[in-house]
Amino acid sequence: MMSSSRLVSRLIIFIIISTAFFTVGSIRLLPDSFDDASSDFMEAPAYQNGLECSVLAKNRLLLACDLSAVHIAMTLDPAYLRGTVSAVHSILKHTSCPENIFFHFIASGSSQGSLAKTLSSIFPSLSFKVYTFDETMVKNLISLSIRQALDSPLNYARSYLSEILSSCVSRVIYLDSDVIVVDDIQKLWMITLSGSRTIGAPEYCHANFTKYFTDQFWSDRKLSSVFDSKTPCYFNTGVMIIDLDRWREGDYTRKIENWMKIQKEDKRIYELGSLPPFLLVFGGEIEAIDHQWNQHGLGGDNVVSSCRSLHPGPVSLIHWSGKGKPWVRLDDGKPCPIDYLWAPYDLHKSQRQYLQYNQELEIL
């Protein structure tokens, strides 16, 4: 865990070091069709367990169902691969037991094989499995939202984790691809979901919850009564702890789909992609986690890629939710100051100069 002030100090040094080496118009990562991108990335350092770590199965198939392992689920989208690679790199770098983490990646069928090959070349010792997401399950339920990227079927895969992942996986941390973790992920994994709570996430009760739904929703008592006897708060679905056993028992995927059907076939009740159905099903009933585990909104809002700063207080996870992504802004030569905190974890060869100077940050 790092304080905001320490991160700012590292940021200032990093900007000074990297400015002379920054080039405008760096290589764009991926074309519209994805092929093996192994040659575009450097191999990550080999991270090993500390002496205090439990000795778990070396067989990756056994580790996939090991309840003692930390299980992390992420999507593998060719357009966001650079972000996913950086997120994985940050997790391995800052955890005390990197060999005890198993990654569950979800990809569309057409790119699954090439993406798996790319990951294996970047992280030769990484324990992971790539699952195919059948996009036909959700395509007919998606309605246009405020930003085109939010309409990707893969963006809805988080609603189907209980069905995509093996039934032996009873608990998982879900992470978006535009995050970096600067703390030991085991601390997040160890958080207990009390009572019958199915998901845990940082809540933001100061946010105006009503804005996440349309006037049509709030004026329809049959629909808006879903929040009766609850005190719902906004939470971001890019960082969640999920009890998959409880999810399966509660059949929450079908409940999310039911709200999507109302949106698609009946009346427009929200504007923001996959988030509102989660709020409708879980709002007011989640395990509230400390805000340090999702310093989000650093990509600006969903329309404008604007620069934002870290919130005061401790920081364990930094999240570029919103329109602006750090790899795009860095490549365009128009980075926000906060983007330089992401750069040291970038393994793309076009940014090797940033990695070269990462040691300068470590001394702080």
Backbone phi and psi for residue 358, each to the nearest 5 degrees, phi listed first: -65, -30
The per-residue b/e assignment along 314-330, b for 16 or more CB within 10 angstroms, e otherwise, is bbbbbbbbbbbbbbbbb
pLDDT tens, residue by residue, 135-155: 999 999 988 776 676 788 999
In which band, very low, low, confident or very high, does the pLDDT at 54 lie, cut at 50, 70 and 90? Answer: very high
pLDDT tens, residue by residue, 75-85: 999 999 999 99
pLDDT tens, residue by residue, 223-234: 999 999 999 999
Average pLDDT of the chain, as a whole number: 88
* DSSP code for 44: P
* pLDDT computed for residue 57 by the predictor: 83
Crossing angle of helices 112-122 and 81-94, rounded to 10°: 40
pLDDT tens, residue by residue, 163-195: 999 999 999 999 999 999 999 999 999 999 999
pLDDT tens, residue by residue, 325-358: 999 999 999 999 999 999 999 999 887 655 555 5
* pLDDT computed for residue 354 by the predictor: 57
* pLDDT computed for residue 17 by the predictor: 45
pLDDT tens, residue by residue, 91-122: 999 999 999 999 999 998 877 889 999 999 99
pTM beyond 0.85: the answer is: yes
* Bridging pattern class, strands 314-315 and 2-3: antiparallel
* Bridging pattern class, strands 317-319 and 239-243: unpaired
